[in-house]
């Protein structure tokens, strides 16, 4: 048996105690004698002066700070995991039901800060499929949102989810499109999801990070710290992925130039039509609406908001038309429809409707909405809430197309 003791000796020594012996304990600052058996190996401290000097050096303090910072980050990451991944109020059964996994509702009143989450939820409302939201924070195996569960089967990626629902449930918004229109829809979708998305993400998570941080909904202990960590973490991810994509290698001005070109392209393609492919909805409308929604409602005072509520007003009317029809509980201030430099937005929160069906809620809400006819006068230009002919966007949209959704079920 061995004891290693650092004693104040001038040289190293080994005391072999084959038998129990009495050893003076003066080394320990006492005159008492202690019995020991075995071996005592003593090392002089002056041979290890490097250790003592390191304890007092700047490098040791830096390492201590690094360890402390790492511990704090680890604690924050654990809390974030608890809030976003473990938090689950109830287990949702996906038997004969669509469970939509997506990010939590933001505090700004919009349904989501993610264009892809908003796209899929809007699509489910367009085809009138009941669904249940799950905000448990669980990502898909690809590390993305949104994804769905149906009959205990998991499906990932908005394009694959829409194809799955079409094949399994027989719902599609594209049945009436020609091959040329389907090709145009796909081209528009890819322009938005593979190009325009990165410009709007840059505006949301890099250029307007401080405003976006205020919109995040994080509850629990250290919510302010977790909100700051989450927003800056996501900002770093966006910048890194933009650089890998290639668009992040351009200057901010060049990124906004690319954004403006995409928005002008959409405005030209839309023209004075109700929807991208004409008078009837198609899947591409869910994509366009969800990618333009940040410019309309979550980027106050930004360049895309100035553009969509100013020169490209037909895109703003298009977004408002879809919001009014499929998001009756999403309240916005109509005075904010046109852009001005002063932003005054309420912190209204979109309620969690649970199992949502447009048939049950949207039509009831719309039936209670009074309709007012507008008679245009030659002296007054059309208002932002009317189409180029001066007729109300809300009246024409709400009344004439209810049968369009019902036709999908035939």
Asked, for residue 91, whether it belongs to a domain, the answer is: no
Rounded CA-CA distance 343/346 in Å is 10
Q: What is the pLDDT of residue 341?
A: 42
Least confident of 102-106, 253-257, 303-307, 346-350: 346-350
* Angstrom distance (rounded) from CA 406 to CA 65: 64
Max avg pLDDT among 7-16, 148-157, 224-233, 259-268 = 259-268
- Does the pLDDT value for residue 285 go beyond 70? yes
In a domain, 38, yes or no: no
Q: Residue 410 and residue 406: Cα distance in Å, rounded? A: 7
Instruction: Locate 178 and state its tokens.
Output: 């020609």
Q: Are 294 and 304 in contact (CB under 8 A)?
A: yes
Assign residue 390 a region (left: φ > 0; alpha: ψ between -120 and 50; beta: otherwise): left
Residue 379 in domain? no
- What is the percent of the chain where pLDDT is above 70? 58
Domain membership flag for residue 373: no
State pLDDT tens for residues 6-39: 444 444 444 444 454 554 444 444 455 545 445 5
Average pLDDT over all residues of the chain:
74
| Overall number of domains in the chain | 1
- Alpha-carbon span 190 to 159, nearest angstrom: 11
Distance (Å, rounded) from C-alpha 17 to C-alpha 57? 39
What is the reported pLDDT for 402? 43
Let me know if residue 304 belongs to a domain. Answer: yes
What is the 3-state secondary structure of 39-108? EEEECCHHHHHHHHHHHCCHHHHHHHHHHHHHHHHHHHHHHHHHHHHHCCCCCCCCCCCEEEECCCCCCC
State the average pLDDT over residues 274-288: 96
Residue of 242, 240, 163, 237 lying closest to 196 (CA atoms): 242
Q: Where are the alpha helices (DSSP H) in 246-280?
A: 252-270
Q: Is the residue at 387 inside a domain? A: no
Overall average pLDDT of the 117-132 stretch: 96
Please tell me what DSSP assigns to residue 138: P
Q: Which helix (H) or strand (E) holds 404?
A: helix 402-407
- The residues pairing with 131 across neighbouring beta strands, listed in sequence order, are 98, 356
Distance (Å, rounded) from C-alpha 82 to C-alpha 216? 16
Does residue 297 belong to any structural domain of this protein?
yes
Query: Is the pLDDT assigned to residue 263 strictly greater than 80?
Result: yes
Q: Which residue has the higher pLDDT, 333 or 344?
A: 333
Separation of alpha carbons 60 and 128, rounded Å: 63
291 vs 268: CA distance, rounded Å: 16
Which phi and psi (to 5°) does residue 14 adopt? -130, 125
The model's confidence at residue 242, banded by pLDDT at 50, 70 and 90, is very high
Asked whether residue 356 is assigned to any structural domain, the reply reads no
Q: For residue 137, what pLDDT band results from cuts at 50, 70 and 90?
A: confident
Element (DSSP H or E) covering residue 202: helix 197-202
Strands 153-156 and 98-101 turn out to be unpaired
* Side-chain-facing half-sphere of 107: CA atoms under 13 Å: 11
Q: How are the residues of the chain apportioned to helix, strand and coil, as percentages rounded to the nearest 5?
A: 50, 10, 35
The 10s digit of each residue's pLDDT in 157-203 is 999 999 999 999 999 999 999 999 999 999 999 999 999 999 999 99
Residue 297 and residue 292: Cα distance in Å, rounded? 9
Peptide bond into 146 cis (omega under 30): yes
pLDDT digits (tens, 9 = 90+) for 365-405: 333 333 333 334 334 334 344 444 433 333 333 333 444 44
CATH number of the domain encompassing residue 239: 1.20.1050.130
Q: What angle do CA 290, 291, 294 make, to 5 degrees?
A: 90
270 vs 50, higher pLDDT: 270
pLDDT tens digits for range 63-74: 666 666 766 676
Residue keyed to tokens 């040289």? 11
pLDDT at 107 over 80: yes
Cα–Cα distance list, 138 to 87, 88, 201, 367, 388 (Å): 10, 10, 21, 37, 44
Query: Please, which pLDDT band fits residue 154 given cuts at 50, 70 and 90?
Result: very high
Report angle CA 263, 267, 272 to the nearest 5 degrees: 165
Place of tokens 């004409």: 278
218-222, 303-307, 338-342 — which is least confidently predicted?
A: 338-342
Q: Which domain holds residue 228?
A: 98-327
Q: Are strands 33-42 and 2-5 parallel, antiparallel or unpaired?
A: parallel
> What are the CB-based long-range contacts (under 8 Å, 24+) for 224-233?
225/76, 226/76, 226/79, 226/80, 226/83, 229/76, 229/80, 230/80, 231/205
Angle (CA) 254-258-260 rounded to 5° is: 115
Tell me what pLDDT residue 136 has.
85
């Amino acid at each position: 048996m061995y004891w290693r003791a650092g004693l104040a000796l001038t040289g190293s020594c080994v005391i072999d105690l084959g038998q129990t012996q009495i050893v003076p304990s003066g080394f320990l600052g006492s005159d008492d004698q202690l019995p020991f058996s075995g071996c005592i190996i003593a090392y002089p401290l002056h041979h290890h002066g490097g250790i003592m000097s390191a304890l007092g050096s700047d490098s040791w303090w830096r390492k201590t700070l690094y360890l402390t910072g790492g511990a704090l980050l680890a604690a924050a990451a654990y809390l974030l995991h608890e809030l976003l991944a473990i938090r689950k109020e109830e287990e949702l059964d996906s038997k004969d039901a669509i469970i939509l996994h997506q990010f939590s509702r933001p505090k700004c009143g919009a349904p989501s800060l993610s264009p892809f989450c908003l796209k899929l939820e809007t699509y489910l409302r367009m085809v009138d499929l009941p669904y249940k939201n799950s905000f448990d924070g669980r990502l898909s195996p690809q590390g993305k949102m949104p994804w769905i569960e149906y009959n205990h089967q998991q499906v990932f990626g908005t394009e694959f989810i829409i194809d799955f629902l079409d094949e399994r449930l027989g719902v599609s918004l594209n049945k009436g499109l020609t091959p040329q229109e389907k090709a145009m829809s796909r081209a528009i979708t890819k322009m938005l999801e593979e190009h325009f998305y990165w410009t709007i993400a840059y505006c949301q998570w890099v250029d307007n990070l401080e405003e976006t941080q205020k919109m995040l909904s994080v509850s629990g202990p250290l919510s302010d710290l977790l909100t700051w960590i989450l927003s800056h973490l996501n900002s770093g991810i966006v910048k890194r992925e933009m650089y890998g994509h290639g668009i992040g290698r351009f200057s901010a001005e060049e990124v906004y130039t690319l954004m403006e070109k995409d928005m002008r392209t959409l405005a030209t393609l839309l023209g004075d039509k109700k929807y991208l492919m004409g008078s009837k909805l198609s899947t591409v409308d869910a994509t366009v609406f969800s990618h333009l929604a940040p410019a309309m409602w979550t980027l106050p005072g930004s360049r895309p908001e100035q553009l969509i509520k100013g020169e490209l007003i037909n895109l703003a009317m298009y977004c408002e038309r879809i919001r009014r029809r499929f998001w009756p509980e999403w309240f916005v201030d109509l005075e904010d429809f046109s852009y001005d430099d002063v932003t005054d937005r309420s912190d209204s929160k979109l309620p969690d409707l649970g199992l949502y069906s447009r048939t049950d809620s949207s039509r009831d809400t719309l039936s209670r909405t009074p309709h007012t006819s507008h008679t245009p006068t030659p002296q007054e230009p059309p208002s932002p809430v009317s189409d180029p002919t001066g007729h109300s966007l809300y009246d024409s949209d709400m009344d004439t197309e209810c049968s369009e959704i019902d036709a999908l079920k035939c």
